[in-house]
Structure 1
């Protein structure tokens, strides 16, 4: 029997294969129990072009200290920041890679905030 993490990674494999086929820059999301991370990764799959997470010091201060990085408000803030950083790096269009996580809650909030900030996917 597969563990919960193995199941998630198994789901993510198909998405990553499809995105690689498209040769698109991808916006990858990872959520832990305490934080949420977003990275824009080049189409060759090698370089991180932009990243944002709730681990960053100024983000933690903005959210009100420790333990506040795992809610929808934090995800929205990270979505906005990743969109701004991607645009600063000259990236307008990305493929959204939710890494096997359900498009719900924090993952959905991050995606919608990034779209509102002008990132297309």
Structure 2
């Protein structure tokens, strides 16, 4: 039962964040999904419901490097920031997806900030 309560709590936090955070074409939502082994990020325009760009730790250039999960997360953040700047985007809204702003989620944010995204 404790696992169910943890999942329900995370889902409630996620819904609460999504009520407050919405992406537009000018300032998309940077959505983070964290699994046990990988991390995925997307730039989403919520007005039209379109994913503008995506990056994950399963990308070939990131997967080829033998580094820790936190370092991979930082590389994913830098990769999504590069894709955003190629599309002419400099500002995003951060959506941590109900996860704590700690560890791999924080590393994604730091990597994206260091590569030039503002949020």
The 5-angstrom pairing of residues 71-82 of structure 1 reads: 71-82=69-80
Q: Normalised by the size of structure 2, how large is the TM-score?
A: 0.86
The whole-number CA distance in structure 2 between the counterparts of 1:107 and 1:45 is 26
What residue in structure 2 maps to residue 19 of structure 1? 21
What residue in structure 1 maps to residue 102 of structure 2? 104
Unaligned runs of 5+ in 2: none
What residue in structure 2 maps to residue 119 of structure 1? 117
Find the partner of 1:43 among 37, 41, 46.
46
The whole-number CA distance in structure 2 between the counterparts of 1:92 and 1:8 is 29
- RMSD over aligned CA atoms reads 1.8
Q: Normalised by the size of structure 1, how large is the TM-score?
A: 0.85
Cα deviation for residue 6 of structure 1 reads 2.8
Unaligned runs of 5+ in 1: none
